[in-house]
Amino acid sequence: MRVERLGASKPARRGKQKQSSRRNIDVSGVDFSAVPASTAKKLERRLAEAAVAFEAERFSEADQLLASIERLAPGVAEVQELRGLTLYRLGHWKRAATELEAFAFRTGSVEQHPVWADCCRALKHWSKAEELWIELGEASPSAALVEEGRIVQAGTLADRGQLSAAVRFLEASPKVPRRPGEHHLRRWYVLADLYERTGDLAHARRVFSAILEAESEFGDVAERLANLG
């Protein structure tokens, strides 16, 4: 099953960026063969309903549906993945981390490592968050996914009071191409925010301006830039 990555680069508890990209969640082909065929059909329909609720940001409804599926068919990786993302959106960090850890264990995938790491960040499990960042880097998946993990790692450093280290960490990131993608703009946003928090307003203005030049309606960047004077 391919599910939307929720952008751990926008921690639900702190970030001001609105997740702009929407992707359909494909829940076809999930294996419910461990239960009777009649039950499997019911669970397939229920999972499809949960995916629709998730996409519509009805996260409590999605969680109820997914919980009922897990009771009848525990240990289905795709259900654990989607429920972990749902719990993340609900701010239930510990439960979300448990589901995403189970998903990663069953599949060997690092696809949701940024979201899992962000849960660890919220729980102040700093060592685990860093461990997940290292695993993600070693796996070298897509550039966008690594970028999400990089932003979470920077946020983890900042949460620990290491603002200057967080700035240096993002400044050392790979060069952004001439036409930046959304994941690059999200990194720039976090870097500009860190510049502002460290009192480096000149660099904050420069980076916020670069974001606006690339995407004029990106999050609250225009407001943030105006507030800097």
Among 141, 170, 194, residue at a domain's last position:
141
Q: What is the pLDDT of residue 15?
A: 39
90/32 same-domain check: yes
Q: Which residue has the tokens 């749902």?
A: 86
Cβ atoms of 183 and 9 within 8 Å: the answer is: yes
8/78 same-domain check: yes
Residue 214's domain comprises 161-229
129/184 same-domain check: no
97/198 same-domain check: no
Q: Residue 152: inside a domain, yes or no?
A: no
pTM given for the model: 0.87
Cβ atoms of 32 and 173 within 8 Å: the answer is: no
Among 111, 141, 171, residue at a domain's last position:
141
How many folded domains does the chain comprise?
2
Among 76, 106, 141, residue at a domain's last position:
141
For residue 2, the cross-strand partners are: 26
Q: What is the pLDDT of residues 117-137, one digit of tens each?
A: 999 999 999 999 999 999 999
**CATH code assigned at 14:** 1.25.40.10
Q: What is the pLDDT of residues 35-94, one digit of tens each?
A: 999 999 999 999 999 999 999 999 999 999 999 999 999 999 999 999 999 999 999 999
For residue 26, the cross-strand partners are: 2
Collect all residues with Cβ–Cβ distance below 8 Å to 152 and sequence separation of at least 6.
8, 9, 11, 114, 117, 118, 121, 129, 133
19/124 same-domain check: yes
Q: Which residue has the tokens 């928090």?
A: 197
CA distance 184 to 148: 9
pLDDT at 4 over 90: no
34/121 same-domain check: yes
Handedness of CA 42, 46, 47, 49 (dihedral sign): positive
Q: Residue 195: inside a domain, yes or no?
A: yes
Q: What is the pLDDT of residues 141-186, one digit of tens each?
A: 889 999 999 999 999 999 999 999 999 999 999 898 889 999 999 9
